[in-house]
Every structure is written in C-alpha cells, then in structure tokens.
Amino acid sequence: MIVRMCDADEIFQTVSKVLDRPSERKKYEKFLALKADGRIKWFVKYNTFTISSLTRTWKPYSMKGKLFWYTLPLLARLLIILNIKKIGPLSLIEFKMNIFKRISIYVGKPGPTQKLIVIVGEDSFSEVLKISKGNIAKKRIQQENQTLKNLPETIKGVVPKTKCEELQKKLGYSYTIQYFVDGLPSGKELTEKHIEFLASLKTGKKLDLSKKIISLIEKYQTTIEIYFPGKTQDFMALFKPNLIVPEMIQHGDFAPWNIKHNGRQLVVVDWEYAVFDGLPLFDMIHFFVSQQENRQDYDNILNDLNCFLKSKFVTKYKQQIELNDSVSHDIYIMSYLLNMYLIKSEDFIEKHIQKEGSFMLFLRQLIFSQKLK
C-alpha cells in the first residue's frame, strides 16, 4: 500500500476535528486515495455521486492526467469488483469517520503553503473548507476571505460566497468556509467571457506602475541579490518615473484551473493572491504564462507571449479599461515576472532559508531571458 496510514490518519483527524464530527463510528468508510507527483493529492469518499461530481467539476490539463481522470470511475469500480487495494496511482483505503455523505479532500504540497481543501455535502456538494496546515497557507486563506468580503457588488455574483466573516479557529487549526461553486472547468483559451470579467476589475483609479514595482524591488532586495546578483539597479532602471496606468483589482492566479463556467457566466475561485491596487495585463499575462511551465524554450515563450498580447482579445481588453500604448509590452511583462516571482518567494521562506518552487524557477529563467531594455 502506497499511502502511509499515519499520513491518512493525520489528515482525516484534522478534517474530523474542524468539522466537529467525532471519528468514533462502528462502520469504516471507504476512500479512494489518488496519487500524483509522488504524493497523495486527493482522498475521495467511495460512492458514485462523489466520484462523478469531482471528475465533472475539476479536471487536470495534462494529457496523462486527463486520461487517468476520465477512467477514474471505472478504475474505482474495478477495485471493488476485483477486491484489490491498488491499481496504478489509485488506492482504496478505509477510515473510521463520522462525516458527510459526500466528501473530497485535496491535499496541498507539504511545506509552509500546505492546505487541505475539503469539499463536503449531504445530497450534493454544498461547502468548501480551506484548512491551513502551514503558516503561509494561513496568511493566504485569510487574505482570500478578506478579499471576497470587500470585492465590489458588481462582481460578487461571479466569485465564491464566504460563509464566515472572519478566519475560523478550532483546536489549533485555522480555516475558512465558502459555499461550493458548481460549474465546468474553464478551457485553456481566452474568450469574450474572460475579457468581460477582467475588464470589470477596473477600480476607476490610476496607479504609478514604476513606484509600485520599485517599492516591491526594495522590499525584496535581499531575495533579488540571492537569485539575481548585481541586477537590482538594472531592474529599477527599467521603470522610468510616472508610468501612470489604470489600477485594477488583481486576482493574482488567473489560470484555467481557477475558472469555472456555470452555463451563463464565468465564476473565478482561489483569490488568495488578490490585491486591490493591481496592474493592468497582470492577470492576462498570468493566464498565458501559467500554462507554459513545462516548456524550456524560454525565448520562444516570450515571443509567443508578445504575440498573445497583440491578439484581438487583449486589444479589446485594453480598450475597455482605457489602457493606451504609452507603456510597452516589455515593461508589463517584466512587471509581471518580477511581481509574481517576488510574491511567490514569500511562500518558500522557512527557517530563513529561501527555496524556489518549480514555478518560481520557471519565472526566474524567463526573467533572465527577457531582454532588459
């Protein structure tokens, strides 16, 4: 059995304590354990509805992941029919638990950003709990809760609704509760709906892009000197004074896996990196860059990104937020790369040792490849 029971025990005990449902129960419940990237990513209660609901509302984007996801209901049934405990990355475990009829648990990557995302319900999925396991995760889910409360009324219909006003705490665990957002996963291509949503995030204020990025560089100067030695002044020199642009509410992780379509409109989830004084084109650039992480032809990625920023959809977005061409695409690209890299660096600071995640490493390579002009 690949799943170490001590790991599963700890996760299920955490969920039981937060949901306030004692785990003492005569009957053991069956759960599927789904392994990917060398670790367990999902625990899914074994019943037809829970499995089909999960595979409908969440999908991987790699070819290998898609193939496994589409065959998951069949593989799960084979485990029972053949009375075996494991098929490939899928395992069957039992756990004594008094909990909802429908439950899926996503287990985040171990470390300071780790969180559990618990989707629960009785006759259908109804709530999403985000439980922090790491100190940075606590900060992120608290930030998301505050963001969702303070978003303008005009877009509150297309984001998750919070059930709790403040971060909840129980037995040492911090968590938030949101109402479940139903819908199909968004596609990988930009559409009119994406443009409409992003344009609605305009605050009506102006922002000094140079001042914001230079302030960020100064704040993270130690990090820059570690990973970009001798480049601090070069980075600062890129941002000439008074680059005034429209201020945006910045989602911060606007990627296909955080976007659902409910048949009428897009619904955008995971606002943990959101800020209210964000940059135009940031979310647009992230939508493109976040899907390129497995590529290593960095010059070609940047060329493709420049072509993307000249597309009809991006042009329409710029028109809707009244963004002129006084600031070059190169400046917006470098603003995004530095901003995302430095903010992400917070997530990997543990015991004063900075560790790069795979996406950070990817961003760093793009920063080196982006020509300093």
Cα gap 27→279, rounded to integer Å = 53
Q: How many CA atoms lie within 13 A of 274 on its CB side?
A: 25
Residue 61, pLDDT > 80, answer no
227 vs 231: CA distance, rounded Å: 9
Q: Work out the end-to-end distance of the chain between its first and last CA atoms, rounded to an integer number of angstroms.
A: 55
Which of 324 and 7 is assigned the larger pLDDT?
A: 324
Question: Higher confidence at residue 140 or residue 8?
Answer: 140
Q: Give tens-digit pLDDT for 354-366.
A: 567 789 899 999 9
- Give one DSSP letter per residue of 244-299, joined into a string: EEEEEEE-S---GGGEEE-SSSEEE---TT-EEEE-TTHHHHHHHHTT-TT---HH
φ and ψ at residue 4, rounded to 5 degrees: -75, 120
Pick 311 or 100 by higher pLDDT. 311
3-state helix, strand, coil in the chain (%, to 5): 45, 25, 35
Contact present, 194 and 287 (Cβ < 8 Å) = yes
Q: What is the mean pLDDT of residues 260-277?
A: 92
- The sign of the torsion formed by the CA atoms of 235, 137, 127, 57 equals positive
Q: Are strands 275-278 and 244-250 parallel, antiparallel or unpaired?
A: antiparallel
pLDDT for 6 equals 46
Q: What is the pLDDT of residues 10-50, one digit of tens each?
A: 888 888 778 766 555 556 788 999 988 788 899 999 988 88
What confidence tens digit (pLDDT) does each residue in 80-115 have?
A: 888 888 998 899 988 877 667 889 999 998 888 889
What residue ranges of the chain are covered by domains with CATH 3.90.1200.10?
192-369
Of 220, 228, 215, which is closest to residue 369 (Cα–Cα)? 228
Q: Is the pLDDT of residue 127 over 90?
A: yes
CB 293 within 8 A of CB 357: no
The pLDDT assigned to 351 comes to: 44
**pLDDT attached to residue 25:** 53
Whole-number percent of the chain with pLDDT over 70: 92
Residue type, 38: G
The answer to whether residue 294 scores a pLDDT higher than 80 is yes
CATH 1.10.10.10 is the classification of domain 192-369 = no
Question: Each residue of 176-208: pLDDT tens digit?
Answer: 999 998 888 888 999 999 999 999 999 999 999
pTM: 0.91
4 pLDDT more than 50: no
Q: Is the pLDDT of residue 372 over 90?
A: no
Structure confidence by residue, pLDDT tens digits, 316-345: 999 999 999 999 999 999 999 999 999 888
Which residue shows structure tokens 């084979």? Answer: 78
Most confident of 54-58, 132-136, 316-320: 316-320
- What does the pLDDT read at residue 2? 39
